Chain A
């Protein structure tokens, strides 16, 4: 571990702020049962549609469920989804990028064309097509979002491995008889890590935005799951009388996504300033 990175990180405001938000979301998810005063599906029939009060911090919904508790438990869904989606898309993106960049030739042509095709579609629309095929549900939405968003990883890793494979240390590896796979994994991959870390930190918030959007459209997590997008869409029918049902879950999304975006931006400034768009 290079401590100078951490030190310059602490001087970077967006990294610091993003890091604090990130930690707060992770801690909320871990300690949800301790933080939340009620469980996420506990109904208080006599307290339906109550505005925020000391008993229900952020009010209650149409079933008398405590919105604050539901948001707290919802952080578990958001984090789980974000992390899993990023793992799947980095796995696809990195392996295709390494193959295309390292081997070049036909493999590169096929992979690059596939990347172009996926790049050519608005991700949300393509994800909707995949969800139509697989059917609604949180797991299917995660697969759909990962399937449509790996292309950015492939592009970056491909470009990096193209230039890295001409480096002397890769030539040296070949000369001592290392296999292609070992060169890709032990010589090239570690040198693309900075870019991959930055890209995946920025892919996390967009995965959370997309899955909550799917939940909002009724295609992702299904009620009574305390998914923030689902909660928001449930509140729309009560928007005139009980706007808090929709407002607070949305705030939770903005808080989390903003935190991860700041963290990602900060990391990019520190690790790889050239990636800046």
Chain B
């Protein structure tokens, strides 16, 4: 297991560097924003002496790289400053909304996998047949659907015409169903096609042919050899998809007035509440890098060949 430990450590170090790079980019974007944060916060009637004092207090009189380290040490402690609109601590705003976003994206991911893996497997086993064509075509159509349109369509059908489900907002788990479908349906195409192509590839491997030749029953070959190997990349994809779904959640949460972090991000952008925008983007980046790193380590655990690549 020596090379696995080494791989894991290397991968973690790279992850830390990527997060640092992201913080530099975010800090740079904030620096480039129009307007002086102190003057914006203090208003116009504050004396120049007071402004200088505030700047010293916030470390804004120091050189830019020092400001970056001050800022970095603050966000490591979870201090993202205060919202310019509501004046509340940013971290409190996010804490109230993050669970809703994780509920939405987490369940969307599960639904996506529950639908995509069996369909992908089916298409691969019936490769070239009508079933295969239907599944593949369906996945391209879903892939081409903007989630905001699918969301509106589902709203019209299930909330307005049939009156089965709540239109928007959060009022219990029933209101999760439509946002969940809107988020998972367009993105399940990726998992479906990955499963299909991986299974197709493994089916052509020598060890599968050998297993058949040995006279193993078909279902045993499928489970022991085909699925076990084909699902390695599919499992890894699980971790790589999470951040994409959080990105997609910005739109879905906006459509359905879902009280999550994505909608908060959108609202903060429209009112130019920069501290909130910065904090949310940082948290999404952090979640992304963490899940990418987990994904890479999981794939190294499952497939020894990958460990040598770094």
A binding-site residues for B, Cβ under 8 Å: 14, 113, 116-117, 120-126, 128-133, 205, 209, 212-213, 216-219, 229, 232-233, 235-236, 239-240, 243, 246-247, 249-251, 253-254, 257-258, 261-262, 265, 276-277
Closest residue to A122 on the B side, CB-wise?
A: B247
Task: Check B149 against A120 for contact (C-beta < 8 Å).
Answer: no
Interface size on B, as a range, is: 35 or more
A58 CB → nearest B CB, Å: 15
A40 CB → nearest B CB, Å: 20
Closest residue to A209 on the B side, CB-wise?
A: B146
A121→B23 CA distance, assembly (Å):
12
Q: Is B96's CB within 8 Å of the partner chain A?
A: no
Task: Check B153 against A247 for contact (C-beta < 8 Å).
Answer: yes
Residues in A whose Cβ lies below 8 Å from that of B149: 232, 246, 249-251, 253-254
Given A113-B21, A129-B26, A277-B193, A262–B152 Cβ distance below 8 Å?
no
Residues in B whose Cβ lies below 8 Å from that of A229: 146, 148
Residues in A whose Cβ lies below 8 Å from that of B251: 124, 213, 216-217
Task: Check B32 against A121 for contact (C-beta < 8 Å).
Answer: no
Given A129-B281, A132-B269, A239-B156, A121–B288 Cβ distance below 8 Å?
yes
Interface CB pairs A-B, < 8 A, 15: A121-B22, A121-B284, A122-B288, A125-B284, A128-B250, A129-B26, A132-B274, A213-B147, A216-B148, A216-B251, A217-B250, A232-B149, A235-B152, A236-B152, A254-B145
Task: Check A120 against B288 for contact (C-beta < 8 Å).
Answer: yes
Task: Check A120 against B153 for contact (C-beta < 8 Å).
Answer: no
Among B18, B149, B244, chain A packs the most CB atoms within 10 A around the CB of: B149
Task: Check A247 against B160 for contact (C-beta < 8 Å).
Answer: no
Task: Check A254 against B146 for contact (C-beta < 8 Å).
Answer: yes
Residues in A whose Cβ lies below 8 Å from that of B17: 113
A216 CB → nearest B CB, Å: 5
**Which of B140, B144, B197 touches A277 (beta carbons < 8 Å)?**
B197
Task: Check B148 against A239 for contact (C-beta < 8 Å).
Answer: no
Once A and B bind, how many residue pairs between them come within 8 Å at the CB atom? 130
A168→B174 CA distance, assembly (Å):
64
A117→B20 CA distance, assembly (Å):
10
**Which of chain B's residues 11-52 have a Cβ closer than 8 Å to chain A?**
14, 17-18, 21-22, 25-26, 29, 32-33
Residues in B whose Cβ lies below 8 Å from that of A236: 152, 255
A217→B243 CA distance, assembly (Å):
19
Given A239-B155, A247-B156, A261–B21 Cβ distance below 8 Å?
no
Residues in A whose Cβ lies below 8 Å from that of B299: none
Interface string of B206-241 (1 = CB under 8 A from A): 000000000000000000000000000000000000
**Which of chain B's residues 149-167 have a Cβ closer than 8 Å to chain A?**
149, 152-153, 155-156, 160
Q: Is B171's CB within 8 Å of the partner chain A?
A: no
A213→B250 CA distance, assembly (Å):
10
Q: Is B292's CB within 8 Å of the partner chain A?
A: yes
Closest residue to A213 on the B side, CB-wise?
A: B251
Q: Is B181's CB within 8 Å of the partner chain A?
A: no
A113→B255 CA distance, assembly (Å):
35
Q: Is B120's CB within 8 Å of the partner chain A?
A: no
Task: Check B247 against A123 for contact (C-beta < 8 Å).
Answer: yes
Q: Is B109's CB within 8 Å of the partner chain A?
A: no
Closest residue to B262 on the A side, CB-wise?
A: A125
A115 CB → nearest B CB, Å: 11
Q: Is B277's CB within 8 Å of the partner chain A?
A: yes
**Which of A120, A124, A239, A257 touches B160 (beta carbons < 8 Å)?**
A239
Sample of 19 more A-B contacts, CB < 8 Å, known A209-B144, A212-B146: A113-B17, A116-B14, A120-B18, A120-B22, A121-B22, A125-B250, A126-B281, A132-B269, A217-B250, A217-B254, A218-B270, A219-B270, A233-B148, A239-B160, A250-B146, A251-B149, A257-B144, A265-B140, A277-B194
Closest residue to A262 on the B side, CB-wise?
A: B140
**Which of B33, B255, B270 touches A133 (beta carbons < 8 Å)?**
B33
A4→B153 CA distance, assembly (Å):
43
Q: Is B100's CB within 8 Å of the partner chain A?
A: no
A128→B285 CA distance, assembly (Å):
13
A5→B10 CA distance, assembly (Å):
45
